[in-house]
Structure 1
Amino acid sequence: MSFFFDPFITFGSPSWLLTLTSALIVPFLLSEPAASATGVTSDTSDLSALLSIRAHLNPFTSLSSWDSHNSSIPFCQWLGVTCGSSKNRGRVTALNLANLGLTGSVSSDIGNLTFLRSLNLSFNNLQGQLPPELGRLSHLELLVLSRNALEGRIPGTLANCSNLWRISLGSNRLAGEIPAEFGALPKLQILSLHDNDLSGRIPASLGNLSSMTHIDLVGNRLAGTIPPSLGRLQSLVHISVTRNSLRGAIPVSIFNMSSLSYLYVGYNQLSGTLPPDMGNTLVSLEVLQAFGNILEGPLPISLPNASMLREIVLPYNRLSGPLPRDIGKLRYLSSLNLRANGFEARTAEDWEFFTSLANCSYLQTLDLEYNKLEGTLPSTIVNLSTQLTWLGLGGNEVHGSIPEGIGRFIHLERLHLDQMALTGHVPAAVGKLRNLHVLSLDDNQLSGVLPSAVGNLTQLENLYLNGNGLQGEIPKSFGNLRQLTVCDLSFNKLEGCIPEELTELTSLTRYLNLSRNLFTGPLPAEVGSLKNLESLDISKNRLSGEIPSTIGECQVLQYLYLQGNHLEGAIPDSLSSLTGIQVLDLSCNNLSGHIPVSFGRLEHVRFLNLSFNDFQGQVPNEGVFKNANVYSVTGNNKLCGGTQALHLQPCPGHVPGKKDGSPAVRSIVSIVITVTLFVLSLAAASYLLHRQRTRRCMPVVPSKRQYPMASYSEISRATDGFSPSNIIGQGSFGQVYRGTMSYDSIVVAVKVFDTVQIGAFQSFKAECETLGAIRHRNVNKILTVCSSADHNGDAFLAIVTAYMPNGSLNDWLHPGADVNGDASSTLTLLQRLNIAIDVASALDYLHHYSGTTIVHCDLKPSNVLLDNDMVAHLCDFGSAEFLKETTAGDLAKEINRISRLKGSIGYVAPGHLLHLILIYCS
């Protein structure tokens, strides 16, 4: 109700006072009951909304105070509820139910709390969708629903909440696009949508939010480019778009934002260069993180002018050139991570940056691994900040020795000086680094004995000393390393007995690798203490004695490599209790006795290698032994039976499918066989003795004599840590990477086998054996191989071949989206003819001139690679077979064999029919 002065009333009239009083008082009296009525209605509305919210939530115990039947506690005093104190008295203005373990969903009636300004339901387990009714909360300023399990799209109706200054919806399961309507929220300062499943593009309309200070979009599936409009946000302090699928260059406008302090753009597919003047324009920049992209070019020489910089994190890019010599001007610098780029240092001037880093007294992380730094390890390394916790220079062409002064970095937790050309001894001063968790000195040229001071590193978790020339015995002080989970001492010249103290380290969980040393004596029975170990490799040593039965107590063991020793005796029955074993290699020893039938029950086995021992008797037929592709018993001449694929002689006295006969017949047969065997053994005694002395153990995988063996670290370095950007193809048993080998800088193709797949080990073996037996211009030859363990202790197999820049024949015959449709991507008739001739030439060689007939078994366009001159090269011999001479009488067997075709799924290679054709034509 409103009132007004009647213009006809004069102040001189006696009635004017009464009239004015009535006009003032009556409306007031009339309005009071109306206000009370409205208050009752509003209170009821808020109460109903709260009860509906409670009804959608569990458990009720967290909201026990929310009881409408208890009139003594008004809802304004309920847990998490705040009401207004003045003009909004009795109305809910804030609802804070964070971290109460609530489940359920958000009620749509929450939109009836029309005076709500703050809503916080974070750190619960709420599910369902965000109700569009949230858009009715016109007073809402703060919306925090992070750390739940909310799904569906973000409602665009939130744009109606014009007072919103913070939206936090991170760590949910929200999908769809970011509403472009958010660009109409004039007061929005913080937008946090990290770790959801959002897709689409970043709305350019966000550039209209002049009050915006923080944008956090980490961990989604956002695509497209970073909108240049964000550069208009003059108040923006924090941009975080890490772990998305963004492409293109970082907009120049972003580098002109003087307010920007934090720039996180890592793990995308961003390209381009860093502006040369960015250090002059980003004057407030404190953190620059752009790891895992494809950025190119140099690190701007102006970067040291950004004096507030604390973190420069740019690993796994393609940055190159020398580093700024005055980078030490960044006095607040605490982290410099430039790992896996192409930064160079060839001259003394190029190394000046390293000397200047001594001025960075706050420096804690320095990681320059896997670049192109060359020369002598700078003596100024000992002048770096004593606050260092991470020092990494590995994977560079750096030589020299490790200085004793390394011991001054008492806070160091990780020391990576691996894959270089360091010489000299491991300094005893390393023992002063008592906070060290990771010590990686592998793949150098270090010599001398292991200092016992290493035993002082009681916090050490990972120890990598493999690939050096270390001598002497393992110090007994290694028994003090009670936190050790990984120990790799392989490829050295260590000798003596394996100390019991090492095999008693129950902390070893990932792997213990002592392979390719000179260890002697027995394998300690204490090896049974390694109950949590996943991988044990003591292959290629000089161990003797029997396999200790206690090894069966290592119930977590998945990989056991004991091949290439002098172990003897029978296989202990306890090995059958290793139910999780995936790879078991006992080859190239002097083991005897029978193959345990119980091995057939090892259902997780992917490769069982018992070859080149002295086993006798029947090969089991059950379980794993039904599949000849997952085990090998080659070189055991006293074995018989087994599956037909083994081509072993039938066991004496047993004719498949017939009864054994009467006791009298069995006795006669037994006597005859015994006498015959006795005579034959006398006749062959000298031959067997001579053969035992001269027999070479032929390993299933190539030895260093056949191919130059590469280490896992070398393969990892060549492929930039198996970067997804280097994947160039998919093979039958793994992926193919483009890489560059450090020792000759040639570009290669690296086929990494997925050892989880059944048949991968057999495929690796077949490819190595096949390509090792042939040389032809149209067959892709092996440059090097790797049969080792990765840094997790899992089996690692890789074959390195020449890189074919023109891809496969399939790429040209069936071009995809990445192949241009112009004439240059179309094969001419002459090229097609030449390729056909090349393939035919390779097959003719394999079938007739390679010594033993070789059938490829997986011939198809994708297995024909083309070099720079469009010369065809046959590849992928993982399914190849060596065929022996066959007569027409074997026709039925060959038909049965061919009925079990190998090769790619959905494709039958013509090579499978070759052997049958040869039989028919003979």
Structure 2
Amino acid sequence: MACLGVLSSGIVWLCLSIIFMILPIAISDEHENDRQALLCFKSQLSGPPGVLASWSNASQEFCNWHGVTCSTPSPRRVTAIDLASEGISGSISPCIANLTSLTMLQLSNNSFNGSIPSVLGLLGQLNNLNLSMNSLEGNIPSELSSCSQLEILDLSNNFIQGEIPASLSQCNRLKKIHLSKNKLQGRIPYAFGNLPKLEKVVLASNRLTGDIPASLGSSLSLTYVNLESNALTGSIPQSLLNSSSLKVLVLTRNTLTGEIPKPLFTSSTLTDIYLDENNFVGSIPHVTATPLPLQYLYLGGNKLSGTIPSSLGNLSSLLDLSLTRNNLTGSIPDSLGHIPTLELLNLNVNKLTGHVPSSIFNLSSLKSLAMANNSLTGELPSNLGYTLPNIKTLILSNNRFKGPIPPTLVNASNLKSLYLRNNSLTGLIPFFGSLLNLEEVMLSYNKLEAADWSFISSLSNCSKLTKLLIDGNNLKELDLSHNYLFGGIPEEVGNLINLKNLSISNNRLSGNIPSSLGKCVALESLEMQSNLLVGSIPKSFEKLVGIWNMDISQNNLTGKIPDFLSNFSLLYDLNLSFNNFEGEVPAGGIFRNASVVSIEGNNGLCARTSMGGIPLCSVQVHRNRRHKSLVLVLMIVIPIVSITIILLSFAAFFWRKRMQVTPKLPQCNEHVFKNITYENIAKATNKFSSDNLIGSGSFAMVYKGNLELQEDEVAIKIFNLGTYGAHRGFIAECETLRNVRHRNLVKIITLCSSVDATGADFKALVFQYMQNGNLDTWLHPKSQELSQGKVLTISQRVNIALDVAFALDYLHNQCATPLIHCDLKPSNILLDLDMVAYVSDFGLARFVYNRLTAHEDTSTSLACLKGSIGYIPPEYGMRKDISTKGDVYSFGILLLEIIIGSRPTDEKFNGSTTLHEFVHGAFPNNIYEVVDPTMLQNDLVATDVMENCIIPLVKIGLCCSVPLPNERPEMGQVATMILEIKHAASNRHVRLS
């Protein structure tokens, strides 16, 4: 027995010894496994120098690596990786799943691509997965449901598609689900309502369909639901209406129907309700007198009718109330003026009538009051500046207000924007000098007066004023047109030395044009037409060398037209008509182009050459007589010589073409794609049925079809090989698309290089079908399409412009061999279901070869270059070599068309002006008059967006489309500028839609 006891003790001691020997080895193995997993993860990545420099194979202590957190004490295992906003690109390696102790993976705001590895489901300890703001594709792995500890799932701002896995509802600890701004489709999983700890659901900006799940409001923890910008239908489920925890409900921009449920206005928890831009009907529900916590109520852009319920005044905690763009009628209830907390009231674009209740103008909490585009009447209260001490934005344009502008407004020290245009206001313009925060004032189209113009001297005191319509401390834009201003223009106007745009047209101004105006050397646009001005054009105007537009027509001006006007190189629109000018019209500069100079109605003028009905000066007549015989000779000889030269040139050209060997064209590597047959194409298009035809051009026709090898519909471009240049277009497009790859370039699926049923050559390319067609159909919709809501929002236009700019920047600056598109226009910009833009049609594209290889591509010549009228840069018409700056010009015209909504070939531009000149003439102070009216539905949008988005975009379009190529920016700069505009608008919470 004693021996057995000794033996047992020995065995125990031996086992313990083995355990203590193995344990350090196991711990060491786990440590090394984590290190190798990190190195494996790094091997798929690239980034700025230094970001992953510490992740070195020579370094054993990975817990000190940048972005890595380890557990303490020993054994030290990787518990968190945080590499947010580091500029990293590459794919997420499955090796990451070997970090079995990982609790947080934070990779947001980088350039990760590829799909989300399904093996992430093996990370049983993971509670925070954030892969937002990358370029990830593919589906959401259903295996993520195995992450039983997951609390936060953020995959927003990627290109993820497919349906949301219902299995995610197995993650019972989930608190926040953020999947917005992807390409997700299908229904919202019903089982999300069964997640007991769910607090926040954000699925905005996808293409989700179906009803909102009735179970969604079941969670007792749910506080925030955002389903904005999808295609959800049906009504708001009762569970959300009865939720005892929900605070924020955002359902903007869907197709929800029915009436707005009354329980929304009786909820004891809801503070924010955003239901704008749906298809709700009926009237706004009446609410009880019980105090509610509601703070934000947005119902704009629906089909609500009836009057505004007086019971809304019971919402004693309300901060924002927006009922814009409905069909509300009647008067504004007095009860709205008894909400003590109200800061924003937006009633723009309705059918409201009558006087504004005095209680509204007595809301001391108001910061923004917008009631534009109604039929409101009455006078503005004389004490307005005292009763609205916190007011920042006051928008009352396009109504029927009368009486004076209250002088007390100068006491509203926070006032930034004052929109009173297009009313019937009378009296003197107030002295604004004490409003140091004032930025915008619109007073045009009223009946205002100013005898001594003392208000002008006050404007330079407004430290932020940008418009009257002033950057820094000085006025830049002054628009007082279409009023009853009388008397002389004061010399003090010359003190506004940073003035860029002056519009005082259509008033009753008299006297001379002050010579002091010549001190305003920054002046770009001067409009004084339709007044009673006399005297001559001041000599001091010769200093205004930067002026673009001058209109002093329909006055009583006299004297000669100054010669210095012909030296103004930037002047492109000059209107001197219907005055009393006399003498000889200057011959140089702008006067060489009769289409941009108006001088009719001046009976004392004469011209040296024929000029729009102006009689020839006597000197010129005598000169014509002396040289009559020479002119006759030249008229006969020049045509004969010219025709002879042309005929000889054609003969030499065709002789050379016949004698020389046909140049070798770049060959399309058809083995890159899976080739299909003519029979496949015929079957896919139902034998080329006209019902499937979706577009046509000079080289090809495009059909919609279904290929057996492709699950989704495709677009099939069939080349008309009988058309000269079509074969080369096929080769150019094929060669281009196999050499480039970018998310905003159309992707080729396959091709067909075969023979048709008659044995003739047959060429076709197959692309992904774009459900939203091309940009041209959106910018210029037919009447039935417009009635169906086929209208681009400002946000969509900005995104489309940015997509195209990114694509061109890639073609010009990031390809191994730079590529010029040569035919950029709206019909060649395709839009997918999410309105992402893709540049297409590379039939005229040209690679830019260096001098050593230029002989390999005969396309550098413009002999056969075609394009689209209106988008072709002017230098190509002078047979200059093609360049990337040509694409920049086309982009500039395209951008202007996106904002203005007019084609460069519209009849209004024929002969007299161009799209560039038309926009330039309105830029910037009158730009709101020429932009696409479907963008600017109300003055509030104009206030928020015009200065920070539209005007900067128009400026980019004008810079890109200037005549001289070397003055145009590069597409990399253009893309950066548009991106900054988008980010600035987002950071300022500017509403772009």
Name the CA distance, whole Å, in 2 between partners of 1:654 and 1:426: 70
Residue aligning to 1:690: none
The Cα of 1:106 is off from its aligned counterpart by: 3.4
Residue aligning to 1:466: 444
Name the CA distance, whole Å, in 1 between partners of 2:405 and 2:554: 29
The reply to whether residue 333 of structure 1 matches residue 318 of structure 2 is yes
Residue aligning to 1:541: 531
Letter in 1 for 2:338: S
Residue aligning to 1:400: 378
The Cα of 1:262 is off from its aligned counterpart by: 0.3
Choose from 429, 441, 455 the match for 2:408: 429
CA displacement 1:175-221 (0-9 Å, x = unmatched): 55444443333222111223445455444443343322111233344
Q: Is contact 2:595–2:912 with CA below 8 Å preserved after alignment?
A: no
Residue aligning to 2:19: 31
- Closer, same or farther: CA 798–435 of 1 in aligned 2, 3 Å: closer
Residue aligning to 2:65: 78
Choose from 444, 447, 461 the match for 1:480: 461
Higher mean Cα deviation, 125-134 or 324-333? 125-134
Name the CA distance, whole Å, in 2 between partners of 1:574 and 1:248: 65
Choose from 173, 177, 187 the match for 1:191: 177
The reply to whether residue 491 of structure 1 matches residue 482 of structure 2 is yes
Q: Is contact 2:533–2:557 with CA below 8 Å preserved after alignment?
A: yes
Name the CA distance, whole Å, in 2 between partners of 1:790 and 1:438: 17
The reply to whether residue 300 of structure 1 matches residue 279 of structure 2 is no
Q: Is contact 1:550–1:574 with CA below 8 Å preserved after alignment?
A: no
The Cα of 1:478 is off from its aligned counterpart by: 2.6
The Cα of 1:27 is off from its aligned counterpart by: 3.8
Name the CA distance, whole Å, in 1 between partners of 2:439 and 2:326: 27
Letter in 2 for 1:351: P
- Closer, same or farther: CA 284–133 of 1 in aligned 2, 3 Å: same
Report SS of the residue matched to 2:286.
coil
Pair member with larger Rg: 1
- Closer, same or farther: CA 99–325 of 1 in aligned 2, 3 Å: same
The Cα of 1:344 is off from its aligned counterpart by: 3.3
The reply to whether residue 262 of structure 1 matches residue 240 of structure 2 is no
Residue aligning to 2:107: 121
CA displacement 1:496-539 (0-9 Å, x = unmatched): 33445556546667x65433212234555665777777765433
The reply to whether residue 237 of structure 1 matches residue 223 of structure 2 is yes
Name the CA distance, whole Å, in 2 between partners of 1:35 and 1:531: 83
Q: Is contact 1:262–1:285 with CA below 8 Å preserved after alignment?
A: yes
Residue aligning to 1:874: none
Residue aligning to 1:49: 37
Name the CA distance, whole Å, in 2 between partners of 1:138 and 1:421: 67
Residue aligning to 1:520: 510
The Cα of 1:469 is off from its aligned counterpart by: 1.0
Name the CA distance, whole Å, in 2 between partners of 1:402 and 1:651: 72
CA displacement 1:551-600 (0-9 Å, x = unmatched): 7887887765544344554376557756496x665544455644765449
Residue aligning to 2:273: 288
Higher mean Cα deviation, 295-304 or 650-659? 650-659
Choose from 27, 50, 62 the match for 2:51: 62
Letter in 2 for 1:75: F
The reply to whether residue 170 of structure 1 matches residue 156 of structure 2 is yes
CA displacement 1:100-153 (0-9 Å, x = unmatched): 444444344222222211011234454554444433323211012334454554
Choose from 433, 444, 448 the match for 2:423: 444
TM-score, scaled relative to structure 2: 0.58
Name the CA distance, whole Å, in 2 between partners of 1:260 and 1:758: 53
Q: Is contact 1:84–1:93 with CA below 8 Å preserved after alignment?
A: yes
- Closer, same or farther: CA 201–541 of 1 in aligned 2, 3 Å: farther
Residue aligning to 1:730: 781
Name the CA distance, whole Å, in 1 between partners of 2:521 and 2:205: 37
Name the CA distance, whole Å, in 2 between partners of 1:20 and 1:185: 48
Name the CA distance, whole Å, in 1 between partners of 2:562 and 2:142: 69
Residue aligning to 1:317: 302
Q: Is contact 1:169–1:193 with CA below 8 Å preserved after alignment?
A: yes
The Cα of 1:639 is off from its aligned counterpart by: 10
Name the CA distance, whole Å, in 1 between partners of 2:210 and 2:602: 60
The Cα of 1:760 is off from its aligned counterpart by: 4.8
The reply to whether residue 796 of structure 1 matches residue 771 of structure 2 is no
The Cα of 1:69 is off from its aligned counterpart by: 2.0
The reply to whether residue 353 of structure 1 matches residue 341 of structure 2 is no
Name the CA distance, whole Å, in 2 between partners of 1:485 and 1:335: 27
Higher mean Cα deviation, 515-524 or 544-553? 544-553
- Closer, same or farther: CA 798–138 of 1 in aligned 2, 3 Å: closer
Report SS of the residue matched to 1:211.
coil
CA displacement 1:230-275 (0-9 Å, x = unmatched): 2334422111122344444333433222221001122334333211
Name the CA distance, whole Å, in 2 between partners of 1:799 and 1:43: 64
Report SS of the residue matched to 2:316.
coil
Unaligned stretches of 5+ residues in structure 1: 1-12, 621-632, 641-648, 663-723, 739-751, 767-786, 801-922
Letter in 2 for 1:436: L
Choose from 109, 128, 132 the match for 1:146: 132
The Cα of 1:77 is off from its aligned counterpart by: 2.3
Letter in 2 for 1:264: V
Letter in 2 for 1:730: P
Q: Is contact 1:59–1:103 with CA below 8 Å preserved after alignment?
A: no
Letter in 2 for 1:446: L
Q: Is contact 1:469–1:493 with CA below 8 Å preserved after alignment?
A: yes
Q: Is contact 1:484–1:508 with CA below 8 Å preserved after alignment?
A: no
TM-score, scaled relative to structure 1: 0.62
Letter in 2 for 1:114: T
CA displacement 1:464-521 (0-9 Å, x = unmatched): 1122111224323233334332223222111233445556546667x65433212234
Q: Is contact 2:132–2:155 with CA below 8 Å preserved after alignment?
A: yes
- Closer, same or farther: CA 552–247 of 1 in aligned 2, 3 Å: farther
Letter in 1 for 2:483: N
Residue aligning to 1:917: none
* CA RMSD between the two structures: 4.5
The Cα of 1:287 is off from its aligned counterpart by: 0.5
Name the CA distance, whole Å, in 2 between partners of 1:152 and 1:600: 61
The reply to whether residue 659 of structure 1 matches residue 634 of structure 2 is yes
Q: Is contact 1:274–1:299 with CA below 8 Å preserved after alignment?
A: yes
User: How many residues matched?
Assistant: 656
- Closer, same or farther: CA 148–656 of 1 in aligned 2, 3 Å: farther
Report SS of the residue matched to 1:391.
strand
Residue aligning to 2:264: 278
Q: Is contact 1:279–1:306 with CA below 8 Å preserved after alignment?
A: no
Residue aligning to 2:858: none
Residue aligning to 2:95: 109
Q: Is contact 2:104–2:127 with CA below 8 Å preserved after alignment?
A: yes
Q: Is contact 2:374–2:399 with CA below 8 Å preserved after alignment?
A: yes
Name the CA distance, whole Å, in 2 between partners of 1:417 and 1:382: 12
The Cα of 1:95 is off from its aligned counterpart by: 1.1
Q: Is contact 1:326–1:356 with CA below 8 Å preserved after alignment?
A: no
Report SS of the residue matched to 1:404.
coil
- Closer, same or farther: CA 306–217 of 1 in aligned 2, 3 Å: farther
Report SS of the residue matched to 1:570.
coil
- Closer, same or farther: CA 597–315 of 1 in aligned 2, 3 Å: farther
Q: Is contact 1:319–1:343 with CA below 8 Å preserved after alignment?
A: yes
CA displacement 1:799-849 (0-9 Å, x = unmatched): 99xxxxxxxxxxxxxxxxxxxxxxxxxxxxxxxxxxxxxxxxxxxxxxxxx
Q: Is contact 2:402–2:424 with CA below 8 Å preserved after alignment?
A: yes
Name the CA distance, whole Å, in 2 between partners of 1:504 and 1:260: 57
Larger RCO (CA within 8 A; separation ≥ 6):
2
Report SS of the residue matched to 2:96.
helix
Letter in 2 for 1:318: K
Choose from 758, 761, 764 the match for 2:908: 761
